[in-house]
Amino acid sequence: MSVNGISTTYANYTASAYAQSNTTKATKTSDTTSTTSSTKTENSAVYESSSKKLSKEDNAALIQKLKADTDARVSQLRSLVEKMFTKQGQKVKDNDSMWSMLASGNFTVDAETAAAAKAEISEDGYWGVNQTSDRIFEMAKALSGGDDAKMDKMLSAFKKGFQEATKSWGRSLPDISQKTYDAVLEKFKNYKSDVEA
């Protein structure tokens, strides 16, 4: 699986959670969490984990929502990166070339793009450790339909995907990726403990 497959399947597999249909978590001030891109502000979905077992139809709906949301956010991220590279006379051909260019570190980032990216990867940002690990785990739960044996397969698939992403990146992934990986493993561990209890 290429990074292109991962970013698309970060929609399919970089899974996450809308465990409570269309529910967004309110911030401490009861405002909807939002992120700022270089061109506009959008509400970002914040996924809440659910310990209840969803019906087959609910899982299918959850999977579709997760895919659509992630596809939209990947497109937004790609647009932000493409604009940054275009300003520097570089052209992004596909997702693989985008990730390679980012991994190279041979680019500069303007203050507005840097601020938008920092907000996205902040602790509670859409691409931050908390939300990303929630999406991955909740997608795994939805795809498994609550079947414990399938959850083991989802964990294996996640680990394999992480290894392939590392390979595509060309060296160790950034620290935020490792923290997200660890957070996902912890969610799987807690799930297994709850099931065995």
Give ∠ CA 104-109-113 in degrees, rounded to 5. 125
The whole-number pLDDT of residue 155 equals 96
Express each pLDDT in 100-152 by its tens digit: 778 888 888 889 888 988 999 998 899 999 999 999 999 999 999 878 889 99
Coil vs helix vs strand at 23 = coil
Quote the distance between the C-alpha of residue 24 and its chain's center.
Answer: 16
Point out the least confidently predicted range of 19-28, 73-82, 91-100: 19-28
Placement of tokens 């964990």 in the chain = 155
Coil vs helix vs strand at 36 = strand
d(CA 59, CA 65): 10
Q: Residue ranges of the domains in the chain? A: 3-196
Burial of 7 (0-12, 13-18, 19+ CB in 10 A): buried
The whole-number pLDDT of residue 53 equals 66
Q: Give this prediction's pTM.
A: 0.62
The whole-number pLDDT of residue 130 equals 95
- Mean predicted lDDT score pLDDT of the chain: 74
Coil vs helix vs strand at 13 = coil
